[in-house]
Chains A and B, each alone.
Chain A
Amino acid sequence: MSRIQEAFTGGKAFIPFITAGYPDLETTRAALIEAQENGADLIEIGIPFSDPTAEGPVIQTANVRALDGGITTDMVLDFIREVREDGTVTVPMVFMTYANVIYSYHEGGEGDADGSDGSDRGRYGFCRRCAEVGIDGLILPDVPFEEKDQFEDACRQNGIDLISLIAPTSEDRIVQIASEAQGFIYVVSSLGVTGVRTAITTDIGSITSKIREVTDVPCAVGFGISTPAQAAAMAAVSDGAIVGSAIIRIIDQYGTAAPPHIGEYVRSMKDAMRS
C-alpha cells in the first residue's frame, strides 16, 4: 500500500490544496503545519503554472501571484525537501501542476539547450527529484488516460503515484481509468474549472459505485467544495474531499496571516466529515 493509500485508512480523508509560494513560501510552510495539525490527511501542493487551464479565477490568480513573486519549480522542490527533512510535514503530499512544468523540467533550469529532441529527461528528472524530496504523487489535470504512459512510467520508476481523474462526463471511460488507477482517484464533482460552487448536482454516488466495481483504490471528490456540509455530503459517497479555492480565498483575505484561519477551516471541514 502506498503512503497515499495509508492516508485513507483512518476514515474519510480531508485533502486541502495550497498553491506553493502564494503569497510566499513562509506562509505556505505555516499553512501546511496548520493544515496537518488540524486534521489534513493528505496535502495537495500546487506548483504554479503561467496558464493553468483547469483552474477558475481564484487559483489562476494565486498561480500568477506566486510566479510574480519569483517562485520556480526548483524552489518548490527545495521547499518540500526542507519541510520533510526538518520533520515539519509528515502527512503524504502530492504535487498538482500542469504537463509542461514536468515535461520541460531541468534541474537548475538549464533547459534551453535541450528538450527539442523529444527526450523524456524532463519527466524522469522531475519524478526522481519528487521522490528525493519526499513527494508521494502527482496530479496532472491536462494529462488524460490516453497520454499518461510516459508520465506514469517516470512516476513508477521513482515509486510515486500518478493520480487519475474521473469527471462527470467520463461515463464509459470510468472502468478503463479506474482499472489502472494508483494512489487515489480524483473524482471531479462538476463540469467546468476549479472554484467554489453553491450546489453540486452530479450523482457522485453512481460514479464511485462504478469505480468500486473495478478497484479498491480510494476515491476523493474535488472541485467546488467549500462548506462543511458539502464536505460531509461528498465524504458520504466517497473516501474523501479535496478543497482548493476555498482555502486560497482565505489566503486572499488574510495574506501572510492566513495560516491559523486555514487551520480553523480545516478543523471545521474534518469535523463535519467525521460525523
Chain B
Amino acid sequence: MATQADSRGRFGQFGGRYIPETLMNAVIELNDAYERFKNDPQFNHELEVLFSEYANRPSRLYFARKMTEDLGGAKIYFKREDLNFTGAHKINNVLGQALLAKKMGKTRLIAETGAGQHGVATATAAAYFGMECVVFMGKVDTERQALNVYKMKLLGAKVVPVTSGTATLKDAVSEAFREWTNRIADTHYCLGSVMGPHPFPTIVRDFQAVISRESRAQILEAEGRLPDAVLACVGGGSNAIGSFYHYIDDSSVKLIGCEAAGRGIDTYETAATVSTGRTGIFHGMKSLFCQNEFGQIAPVYSISAGLDYPGIGPEHAYLHETGRAQYVPVTDEEAVQAFEYTSRLEGIIPAIESSHAIAHAMKIAPEMGKDQILVITVSGRGDKDCAAVARYRGHRIEE
C-alpha cells in the first residue's frame, strides 16, 4: 500500500500536530469526522456528483503531440487539471473539505491563499454550499493577483490582506490559523495544501488523489501501460501528492516533484525547500523548511505566488527521505520559458506553477526513448499569470 500516516499523523518522522492547545480538540473533531465519512457511501456519492457535475471531472489526459515531436524523446501527456472548474486542481480538495465541513455542521469556511487559486476555489464552494467565507491573502499577493481578489469578493467572500512577516503565503497560513484559534465552533479551516497538522495532510491528499486515480486509468487506456515518470510542481505539494498517490506502489514509475528555485538555489531568492531547507517544526507539522541557522523561517521567493512557501508537506518529506520521489529545482527563467513554449506549441497557457513541471520535462524528455512516457500534471491555467510573465519580460499590460 501507498504511504499512510500512523495514528499520530506521522509519515515516518514527519507530520504530527504542532499546534496550540486551543486547536487540539478542533483537529481531533475533524479527524473523527473524516474517519467517519471517508468510507461513507452517501458522502462519496455526493462528492462524485460534485466532481462530475460541478467541477467538470474527470479531467482530460491530453497527448501533447507537437511538444513530443519537438523534444524528440519521450511521449508527453498532460493531465489537464487546468480544465477543472475554477481553473486549477484546488477545487478537488475544496469540494471535499466543504462537504465534510457541511456534514460537521460548520457554517463558515476560512482559507489561506497564495496565487489566489485556493481562495477562489474556497469562495466558490462557500457560495455553492451557502457558507460564510473569509480568505487570508498576503498583501503582496493581493497586489500580484488583483483579479483573483476581485473574483473572491464577487463570489461573496471577505478577503483579508495580511501584512505581517513577508506578507505572502506563509503569513496568510499563520493568520488563518490565528483566526481559527479565535473562532472554532462554527468555522472550518479549509487548508489548501497537504500541510499543517494531522489530519490535514491526509485529508487534502485523499481528495487530490482523484488526479492519479484518473490518470492511471487514462494512461492504461491510451497506451496500455504505466508511464515512466509522473511530474508535478511542488509548493506545499497538493497537486503533486495527488498526481503521485496511485503510482506510489508502482516502483517502475518515477515520481518527480518540481520545486520553485526562484532566481536559483545558490541565491537567497528561492523557494526550493527540499534543495535548500532542512528538518524543522512549523505550521503544525514536522517537515522540511527553508530556515536560517537559528531556526528562523526564511523569506522565500518565486515568480509563482502559488509555490512561494518555505515548507513542504510531510508526506513529500517522507517520499524524499525514502527516495521514492525525487525533487528537483526549476528557476523562474526556466518556468517562464516553459510557459511561453507550451502556449506557442500546444495552444495551452499553463499556470506558472505548472510551468515548473513542464520545464523539467523539457530537460529530461529529449534524453528518453521514444517508447517512454511522461505524464505532467498541468495543475492550473495560466491566464492569471499573463501580466506577471509580461512584466518579467519587460512589458507592461494594462487590464
Residues of A at the B interface (CB closer than 8 Å) are: 49-51, 53-54, 56-57, 60, 64, 67, 72-74, 98-106, 109-112, 115-118, 122, 141-147, 165-173, 177, 188, 191-193
Contacts and interface: CB of A to CB of B under 8 A. Distances in A.
Interface stretch (B100-108, B115-123, B132-140, B180-188): B180-188
B297 interface: yes
Contacts of B288: 116
A140 to B, nearest CB: 9
B178 A72 contact: no
Contacts of A142: 18-20, 281, 284
Contact of B294 (A54, A111, A188): A111
Given A144-B17, A169-B184, A103 B295 contact: yes
Contacts of B64: none
Contacts of B181: 54, 191-193
Given A57-B164, A142-B19, A49 B296 contact: yes
A177 B21 contact: yes
Contacts of B20: 53-54, 141-142, 144, 165, 167, 188
B96 to A, nearest CB: 25
Contacts of A147: 16-18
A236 to B, nearest CB: 23
Contacts of B16: 146-147
B25 A170 contact: yes
Residue from A57, A100, A111, A173 with most neighbouring chain B CB atoms (10 Å) = A100
A193 B280 contact: no
B21 A50 contact: no
Contacts of B26: 169
A91 to B, nearest CB: 26
B72 interface: no
A172 B22 CA distance: 13
Nearest to A105: B295
Q: Is the interface of B mostly helix, strand, loop or mixed?
A: mixed
A23 to B, nearest CB: 18
Nearest to B9: A146
B278 interface: yes
Contact of A191 (B184, B279, B291): B184
Interface in B256-284: 278-284
Identify which of B8, B21, B170, B177 gathers the most chain A CB atoms within 10 Å of its CB.
Answer: B21
Given A51-B165, A100-B281, A100-B289, A169 B295 contact: no
B29 to A, nearest CB: 10
Contacts of B182: 191-193
Contact of A104 (B171, B183, B291): B291
Given A54-B178, A106-B293, A177-B21, 9 more contacts: A53-B174, A53-B283, A103-B295, A144-B19, A144-B20, A167-B22, A168-B22, A169-B25, A192-B181
B13 interface: yes
Summarize A's interface: helix, strand, loop or mixed. loop
A51 B279 contact: no
Contacts of A122: 295
B147 interface: no
B224 to A, nearest CB: 41
B297 A50 contact: yes
B170 A51 contact: yes
Nearest to A118: B13
Name the residue among A116, A141, A144, A173 with the largest chain B CB count within 10 angstroms.
A144
A143 B18 contact: yes
B217 interface: no
* Pairs A-B, 9 closest by C-beta atoms: A104-B295, A192-B182, A109-B293, A167-B22, A99-B281, A50-B296, A100-B295, A118-B13, A167-B21
Contacts of A64: 164-165
B24 interface: yes
Given A104-B295, A192-B182, A145 B165 contact: no
Nearest to B22: A167
Q: By CB atoms of chain B within 10 A, which of A67, A141, A146 has the most?
A: A146
A103 B24 CA distance: 21
A64 B165 CA distance: 8
Given A100-B297, A193-B178, A51 B282 contact: yes
A120 B336 CA distance: 41
A193 B296 CA distance: 20
Contact of B282 (A100, A146, A177): A100
A101 B296 CA distance: 7
A182 to B, nearest CB: 16
A193 B176 CA distance: 12
Given A100-B295, A141-B20, A171-B25, A53 B183 contact: no
B279 A115 contact: yes
Nearest to B29: A169
A104 B297 CA distance: 11
Contact of B24 (A98, A106, A117, A170): A170
A141 B281 CA distance: 12
Contacts of B25: 169-173
26 contacts: A49-B295, A49-B296, A54-B178, A56-B178, A60-B164, A73-B294, A98-B281, A98-B282, A100-B291, A101-B295, A102-B295, A103-B280, A111-B293, A115-B279, A116-B278, A144-B17, A144-B19, A144-B20, A147-B16, A167-B21, A173-B24, A173-B25, A188-B21, A188-B22, A191-B181, A191-B184
